[in-house]
Structure formats: structure tokens, C-alpha cells
Amino acid sequence: MTAELDPRPEALPQRVWDSVQRDQLPPADDRDRMRLVMNNLVLHIHPSKVSKPTLRFTYTWGLGGLSLLLIAILAGTGVLLMFAYTPSPDQAYSDMLALQSTVWYGQLLRNLHHWSGNLLVVVTFLHLLRVFFTGGFRTPREFNWVLGVAMLLLVVAANFTGYLLPWDQLAYWAVTVGSSLMSYVP
């Protein structure tokens, strides 16, 4: 019985490891080490066999690269916004008002951060849908699918927590509704 068809629960960790690490460890020499890097990293980013329709830019929309760009924008604008924000319920709203009115390009910076966060949720979800509909979650990439779903949940959670930071009426009611929804989870 092969590991792929093995229904026993103890075979699951081995299947996950095989989907992450496809070659034998440790590599015997430099040539095997390069083959290991090529098979596990480079060929994941740019596989050697790709069907012709998936090479068109309109088919994939570059969603993985776009999500990486949005994460970079969020990191950059987030660091800049940290300089004008005090994380306390008393100061947060007044800091957002001061950021919008007194800091040079503060409104632009805040809007860029806000819309990049919202677009990241949409782009990540669309990227996951594309992977699902093209069958990119099948063997040997099952673990990549699990990581993708976990990252989508992480992006949604980060977007929710960022939504709360201005501590205005929208944030207050989002906390109220979100915490009451969590009380229904078993």
C-alpha cells in the first residue's frame, strides 16, 4: 500500500512532509543540494511544465505578485503611520483626525493603507479561487493549499484588527458585533 493511498492517520504526517520536502535529506553533495533547491523552491515558483492557457496574463491576473505588492505597501505605510498613532482608546481617534488634517500627505497615506488592506483580502481570495479551479492543490502541493487557506484567514484577521485601530464608531460596533458572533462559535 502506498503512502498516498494509505488511510491510516499515522500516514498523514509523512504525506505532509513528502508534499513539502520532495527530495532526500541530507543531500550527498553540492549537485544534490542544488537539485534540492531547484525542485523545492525554484520549480514551485516557476514550474517546468505549465499548460499553455495558464501562461496568459489575463488567465492568472498575476494575483500572487499583486498580493505581495500589497503586503509591501501595507508594511511601508504601516511603519509610516506608526509615527503618528498612539495605541490607546483615548488617543487613537484624535490621532487619526490629526493625521488627516495636520500631517503632510497623511490622508493619502492613511487611504493608501486602508485600501491596500481591503484589496489584499480580495486579491488573496481570488488567488485561492484560481488555485482551486486550476487544480493547483493536488499532489504534491496539498500542503501549499493548507498554507494558502491559513494565510487567507490570517489576512482576514489582520484586516479586522486594522479596522479597529482608529477606534471610531465603526470600530466600536465592529468589536461589539465581532465579539457577539464569537460567542456563538461552539
The string of pLDDT tens digits covering residues 137-174 is 887 778 888 899 999 999 999 999 998 999 989 999 99
Cell numbers describing residue 94: 484624535
* Residues 74-109: tens digit of each pLDDT: 999 999 999 999 988 899 999 999 998 998 999 999
Cβ neighbours of 109 (radius 10 Å): 19
- Exposed, middle or buried: residue 120 (CB in 10 Å: 0-12, 13-18, 19+)? buried
Nearest-angstrom CA–CA distance, 185 and 178: 11
- Give the residue from 81, 167, 168 showing the smallest Cα distance to 117: 81
Location of each CATH 1.20.810.10 domain in the chain: 56-182
- Give the residue from 135, 80, 43, 12 showing the smallest Cα distance to 72: 80
Was domain 56-182 assigned CATH 1.20.810.10? yes
- pTM score above 0.75: no
- Give the residue from 17, 19, 69 showing the smallest Cα distance to 44: 19
DSSP state of 157: H
What is the overall mean pLDDT for the chain? 82
Cβ neighbours of 56 (radius 10 Å): 9
CA contacts within 13 A on the Cβ side of 139: 5
Model confidence at 39, pLDDT cuts 50, 70, 90, reads low
The secondary structure of 21-63 as a DSSP string is: --S-SS-SSHHHHHHHHIIIIIHHHS-S---GGGGSHHHHTTH
Nearest-angstrom CA–CA distance, 79 and 119: 19
Is the pLDDT at 24 greater than 70? The verdict is no
Could you tell me which residues come within 8 angstroms of residue 155 by beta carbon, excluding any fewer than 6 positions away? 120, 121, 124
